[in-house]
Amino acid sequence: MLEQAATRVLTCIQCGKCTGSCPESGRTPFNVRMLVRKKQFQAAVDEALPWYCTSCGACTIRCPRDVKPSEVIIELRSKLVEDGDIPVALQKALENTFVQKNPWGRSRNKRADWVEKIDFEVPHVSETQSKRLLFVCCIQAYDPRCMVIPVNVARLFHAGGLEFGILGEEEACCGNEIRRIGEAGLFEELEEENKAAFEEYGVKEIVALSPHCMNVLKKEYGDMGIKVVHYTELLAPLIEEGTIKLPGSFGKKVIYHDPCFLGKQNGIFDEPRSILRAVPGLDLLEFSRSREVSLCCEGGGGRMFFEVEATYQRNAEVRVLDAVDRGAEIIATACPFCVMTLEDPATEKGLAVKELSEILMEVL
Ligand code: SF4
Ligand code: SF4
């Protein structure tokens, strides 16, 4: 992979499309084109710079020479990880993931505690006919704000007659953020552990709750011969064909924020919108920058676990101001990281942030 990167960076023509599309460029010291240039010459890089990248993927999508600048950043980070030159909070997240298989270091045997909030039994995937696995992952399993997502999605699947199971304590962190922090070795361990469980229990389909998990399971675990989807891809047709009925009403102006790992990186733009359009009474609005050019919330690439020094306006604040301009009352999204980054600035401006399943539960 390193040789491949070395060859790739040599094809860079310094056109600047990567920097032009980067949500961190212009208002921070970070310049991805310059870092690719430095990689071309194997020149020294200021160790603070690679951590600004949010892994939004915009640069890699726009690059005309397939340099994959976002992968170049991961390689620069790998070197810093190897040398121990990484922010303390990230080091802690890596250690926690090594020990407890989640970046927050919460006990692994509490990974399935969210099922206690459900009034029907959620089986182990091995006990299902469908071998459809609901891949919950860390933030949804442990964070009190995000734990509502698996609870809601489980209820919605139940309402739609969709059979599914979980791995419970046997599930490990998907590793999407770990790979992007630059810890390739730990990522491989997580990948092997999860793949062994998928194989042992004959998993045929994986439904991810977070776009970050969906991305890594679908594109970076190699060819597992298992279908991987985001939960909105299963819910959209069930709602459209009327299998899941939404009898309530949600009379609010809702603006949809495209998560980078769902939208621009995996092309899932329509399913979340089709779900929102099916909610009775809901008035769906669009940001000035939406779909392929949606502005990153800055929650990815390890930024959930540490704060970069910032004297500038956060993207989440820019996003909230745009939502206010458009007349929105609620920002809806389909990613736990987006919920976490948008919620504080939104609350300050009197807006609510809702994960899509939260809106659905209000009208189910
Ligand atoms: S977009 Fe690609 S070719 Fe252009 S400067 Fe960036 S890395 Fe180089
Ligand atoms: S992945 Fe996004 S944040 Fe990172 S360098 Fe590319 S455009 Fe910038």
pLDDT, tens digit, for every residue of 276-332? 999 999 999 999 999 999 999 999 999 999 887 777 889 999 999 999 999 999 999
Which residue's CA is minimally distant from atom 7 of ligand 2?
Answer: 22
The sign of the CA dihedral 64, 69, 71, 75 is positive
One-character DSSP codes across 172-207: ----HHHHHHT-HHHHHHHHHHHHHHHHHTT--EEE
At which of 182, 216, 236 does a domain end?
Answer: 236
Ligand 2 near 58 CB (within 6 A): yes
Which residue's CA is minimally distant from atom 3 of ligand 2?
Answer: 53
94 and 232 co-located in one domain:
yes
Q: How far is the CA of 33 from the centre of ligand 1 (A)?
A: 6
Q: CB atoms < 10 A from the CB of 84, how many?
A: 7
The three-class DSSP label of residue 260 is: coil
194 and 296 co-located in one domain:
no
Best of 17, 39, 54, 181 to mutate for ligand 2, by most ligand atoms within 8 A of CB? 54
284 and 174 co-located in one domain:
no
User: pLDDT for 226-268, tens place per residue?
Assistant: 999 999 999 999 999 999 999 999 999 999 999 999 999 999 9
Rounded CA gap, 3 and 1, in Å? 5
Rounded CA gap, 216 and 204, in Å? 17
Is position 26 within any domain? yes
H or E element that contains 227: strand 227-230
pTM over 0.85: yes
Task: Please choose, from the candidates 283, 229, 281, 235, the residue with its C-alpha nearest in 3D space to the C-alpha of residue 256.
Answer: 283
Split into its structural domains, the chain has a count of 3
Is position 241 within any domain? no
Among all ligands shown, which has an atom nearest to the Cα of 13? Answer: 1
215 and 99 co-located in one domain:
yes
Ligand 2 near 315 CB (within 6 A): no
Q: How far is the CA of 169 from the centre of ligand 2 (A)?
A: 33
**What is the domain range of residue 126?**
90-236
Q: Which atom of ligand 2 lies nearest, measured to the CA of 55?
A: 1
In the prediction, which pLDDT does 285 show?
98
- CB–CB of 305/89 below 8 Å? yes
- CB–CB of 180/302 below 8 Å? yes
What are the structure tokens assigned to 188, written together?
């491989």
